[in-house]
Amino acid sequence: MNYMPNLQHRNQGYAMRKSQWSISIQEENECFNNANDQEWFFKNSLWGVQFIPDNNPPLKILGAAPPPVSCELKMAKFVCDSHDNWHGYPVAHWMSPYDRPGESVLKDWCEKGIISKANFARIRRGKKCAL
């Protein structure tokens, strides 16, 4: 799978309209590769998190949402274009039903201890939660 970072998600000129990565491009690629390896696939998208073992909270901050939300984001969505190139961006799961992973992804994250059962339910319902 070809991964091509979308620089609009790294350009402060787009920060008022698009979420922005705060991790390096290498870490972005690692997040994508991990999502692909783990098969965190739902509705033509891959869903990624950066899990930090033995850390509380266990998820790494991946980026920030655009204003007026402007909060830290710990979940990423990866999509494919018509040329089979993938790119991704950090998402605020509570702002759009399209930016929310499916139950199969959430269940796997919960079983692996990446998210709690309470956060599983909150994300599934589109509620904001502290990951």
Mean pLDDT of all residues in 31-47: 96
Domain that holds residue 84: 2-124
In a domain, 46, yes or no: yes
Structural Rg of the chain based on CA atoms: 14
In a domain, 130, yes or no: no
In a domain, 131, yes or no: no
119: confidence class by pLDDT, cuts 50, 70, 90: very high
- Number of compact structural domains in the chain: 1
Q: Evaluate the CA torsion angle 110, 111, 113, 117 in order and state its sign.
A: positive
Mean pLDDT of all residues in 25-46: 96
Query: pTM for this structure?
Result: 0.92
